[in-house]
């Protein structure tokens, strides 16, 4: 098992909070929205958080390489040589940031041998931090309060609580939900959907639409450490940095492994 996790966790949490402060400074002012080639929004907050986190991670023990949404042009021939690296989304939920609904996060994950082994998800507006390592389990910290251990809900509620995106409810998800039958729906932005499953407030998050690896890695670590699973439609756990494309396959996030959510 990877050895440095306990040494890396606290400074990673502190970096996520520091990046969150930089995001909030821009959030509370007038900011300009630009658009990338794929038409996704980009703000000064994305770039400020990227700079803050990238600079901080390089100085941590191990000096592992960093792959960020805002530096995604690193070619696979180079990435493919990395056994361990940081994978970050400096501002997950830029659409929610632009709408000013508070449902955006800072995501920082450490990937080792294609699996997330450390994950931090920080929501700047509410000052809630979810974090986990493969060794310690998953925790939720509100403000600078005492962190509390979290775990998924098992068994799932008789009428399962399904969490979905405010911005990305695809026809495939609607079709899946019609087959699922009676359920309660909660809508929330960013990787907070994973975290609701991890802390037992939701049972299922079906993502049948495009995501990138930095969108999921930190939150996948939290869910798995809380006893849940993040699997593709073949039943395999999501893996990272295995191919030139940084897009994920469609996936399901759930807590109760005794139910066949795939069928």
The pLDDT value recorded for residue 35 is 79
Rounded to two decimals, what is the model's pTM? 0.94
What pLDDT is recorded for position 219? 98
Is the pLDDT at 38 greater than 80, yes or no?
no
Using 50, 70 and 90 to split pLDDT, how confident is the model at 100?
A: confident
Q: Where are the domains of the chain?
A: 5-150, 161-254
Query: Is pLDDT above 70 for 49?
Result: yes
Q: What is the pLDDT of residue 166?
A: 65
Name the CATH topology of 161-254. Answer: D-Maltodextrin-Binding Protein; domain 2 (3.40.190)
What pLDDT sits at residue 168? Answer: 65
* Predicted local confidence at residue 167, as pLDDT: 62
Tens digit of each residue's pLDDT (9 = 90 or more) over 113-165: 999 999 999 999 999 999 999 889 999 999 989 999 999 999 999 999 999 97
Residue 71: the pLDDT is 81
**Fold (CATH) for 5-150:** Fructose-1,6-Bisphosphatase; Chain A, domain 1 (3.30.540)
pLDDT of residue 42: 75
Q: Which residue has the higher pLDDT, 214 or 97?
A: 214
Q: What is the band of 170 on the pLDDT scale with cuts at 50, 70, 90?
A: confident
Dump pLDDT digits (tens) for 4-27.
Answer: 798 999 999 999 999 999 999 988
> Which pLDDT does position 260 carry in this prediction?
95
Which residues, in sequence order, are CB contacts of 245 under 8 Å at separation 6+?
none
Determine which of 40-44, 104-108, 124-128, 137-141 has the lowest per-residue pLDDT on average.
40-44
Q: State the Cα–Cα distance between residues 253 and 122, nearest whole angstrom.
A: 19
According to the model, what pLDDT value does residue 2 have? Answer: 62
Least trusted range by pLDDT, from 42-46, 56-60, 193-197: 42-46
At 205-263, the pLDDT tens digits run 999 999 999 999 999 999 999 999 999 999 999 999 999 999 999 999 999 999 999 98
């Amino acid at each position: 098992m990877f050895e440095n996790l306990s040494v890396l966790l606290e400074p990673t949490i502190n970096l996520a909070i520091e990046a969150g402060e930089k995001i909030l400074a821009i959030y509370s002012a007038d900011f300009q929205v630009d658009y990338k080639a794929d038409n996704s929004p980009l703000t000064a907050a994305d770039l400020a958080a990227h700079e803050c986190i990238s600079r901080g991670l390089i100085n941590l023990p191990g000096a592992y390489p960093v792959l960020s949404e805002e530096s995604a042009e690193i070619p696979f021939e180079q990435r493919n040589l990395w056994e361990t690296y940081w994978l970050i989304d400096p501002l997950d939920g830029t659409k929610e940031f632009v709408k000013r609904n508070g449902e955006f996060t800072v995501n920082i994950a450490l990937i080792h041998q294609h699996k997330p082994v450390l994950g931090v998800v920080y929501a700047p507006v509410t000052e809630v931090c979810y974090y986990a390592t493969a060794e310690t389990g998953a925790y939720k910290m509100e403000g600078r309060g005492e962190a509390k251990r979290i775990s998924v809900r098992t068994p799932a509620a008789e009428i399962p609580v399904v969490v979905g995106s405010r911005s990305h409810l695809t026809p495939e998800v609607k079709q899946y939900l019609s087959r699922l039958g009676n359920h309660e729906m909660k809508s929330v932005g960013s990787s907070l959907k994973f975290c609701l499953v991890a802390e037992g407030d939701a049972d299922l998050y079906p993502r049948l639409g495009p995501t990138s690896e930095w969108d999921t890695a930190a939150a996948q670590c939290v869910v798995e450490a809380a006893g849940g699973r993040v699997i593709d439609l073949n039943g395999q756990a999501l893996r990272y940095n295995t191919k030139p494309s940084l897009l994920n396959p469609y996936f399901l996030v759930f807590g109760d492994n005794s139910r066949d959510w795939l069928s």
